[in-house]
Structures are given as C-alpha cells and as structure tokens.
Amino acid sequence: MDRIEYEKMHAVEERMWWFHGIHANLLTAFARTGRARPGLRVLDAGCGTGGFLAKLGRAVPGLDRIGMDFEPVAAALTQARAQVPVAVASINQLPFAASSLGAIFSADVLCHRSVDQTKALADLYRCLAPDGVLVLNLPAYGWMFSAHDRAVHTARRYTRTGLEALLRAAGFTQVRSSYWNSLLFPLMVLRRKLMQTEGAASDVMPFPAPIEFLFRTAMRFENFLLRCGIALPFGGSVLAVAIKHG
C-alpha cells in the first residue's frame, strides 16, 4: 500500500471497530483449530503495522511470533508495536524454510495487485509444518470493488466457494470458511457502491464514539456466532481456515 495508508492504519488500528472485528475473528478461527501451544512458531504474512501480532501475543502467551511485510515502513512500525522480529519480504517468496512454521495468518494480502495468489498459496503451503494451520481473511465479492480497493491496491475480491477451491488446489485440507461483517453489509454497499466518488481515500479513519460503539457491538455479536461454529451467509469479508495435510 502507499505510505499514507500505513500511517492511517497505525494511527487507528488499536481503536477502530474494523480492526477490533477482524483481529477477534482471526483469533477465534485460530482457537477453534485447537493448535495453539507455547513455542509454536507463528507468522503474520503481511503484518501491516503490527496490531494483530500484539493482540495475538496477549491472547496466546508463549507463541514464537514473527512478522513479515513487503514495506520497510510497516516492518519498522510492527517491530516497535508488537516487539517481535519482522522480515521485509514478499508473500510471493517467503524467506522461511520448508515446514518451519506451525501457523500462518494473512489478512487482506492475497488480494493485492502485486501478489501472485497461486504462487503465494504454494509458498504458504511449503512453509507450514505438517498439520500446520493457515488463517486467511480477504475482501468479499468482486461486484463490491470500489474506490476503497483502489486506495489500498486491492486487485481481487473473493467468494467462499472460490477461496475454498483455491486452498484445496494448493493442497490444503479441512478447509472451512465464513463471511463476516454481515450486519453492517448494507451500509457498506451504500457507502461504496452508491455514494463512492472517484479518487476517494480508503475507509480507514476514526469514527465518532457512538458509531464506534454500535459497530463494535455488531462485530462482537458476529464473533460470538463464529465462536459457536456458525458460518455467516454473506458479508463484506470472507474468513477461511485450512490445514496442511500431515
């Protein structure tokens, strides 16, 4: 992404409803695999400014956490925020040995215009240990492409069935997925499809406190459903978990 987008993310990541929602859902997806244990080597591939890695460390103490991002400015911000080692590299060619990682998270990275999604998935598979877990989040529905996507260099949006097919083609098994950001999806459609203007910035911004409260409440309710194993039928993002065959 452009430097300005990293700066915006760094400024609001710890307080904006969107990041609270996505981080909670990533943690829930990981917890439901039952694979979290002290010493497990875990990578955040495309770590942005480090908010998720910091939360992961608090939620699951004892993990061996590593960050990676293509942009040096993001790596520096992550290192400062999450206090973990961070590699500057592309997800198309991960700088890790085969079968060296117990779990990999990647949030809204495969969709970027600089990413070869087939090559990236093959390398994610290569780096995972047998029975290792991959947790992905990606934007949903090609028809939802908007000025926000252009601002953050998104090239592709996904459906559950399409993403699951990609993961299975890469060799992953036990693939599960769900949409989320369902309750607020009508507002998302309204803003991005009916109210968008060319050249608009991304939707990463601070919101007034009452809006933050309402939107966070919606995210908490959806996270409760995901913790119960309920897959949501539609939404602005798709969350997927896949296992490397042991």
Taking only the tens place, the pLDDT of each residue in 155-214 is 999 999 999 999 999 999 999 999 999 999 999 999 888 887 666 678 898 999 999 999
The partner residues of 176 in beta bridges, in order of sequence, read 241
pLDDT at 201: 74
pLDDT at residue 226, rounded to an integer: 98
179 near 235, Cβ under 8 Å?
yes
Provide the 3-class DSSP secondary structure of residue 132. strand
CA distance 183 to 176: 21
Q: Is 105 left (phi over 0), alpha (psi -120 to 50) or beta?
A: beta
Order of strands, sheet of 237-244, starting from the edge strand that comes earlier in the sequence: 86-88, 64-69, 41-45, 101-107, 128-139, 237-244, 172-180
CATH code at position 219: 3.40.50.150
Based on the structure, what is the number of domains in the chain?
1
Share of the chain above pLDDT 90, in %: 89
> Can you state the angle between helices 51-59 and 17-33, rounded to 10 degrees?
50
**63 pLDDT higher than 80:** yes
Q: What is the pLDDT of residues 12-40, one digit of tens each?
A: 999 999 999 999 999 999 999 999 999 99
Answer yes or no: are the C-beta atoms of 223 and 24 closer than 8 Å. yes
Contact status, residue 124 vs residue 104, Cβ threshold 8 Å:
yes
- Is residue 104 within 8 Å of residue 94, measured between CB atoms? no
Range of the domain at 60: 3-244
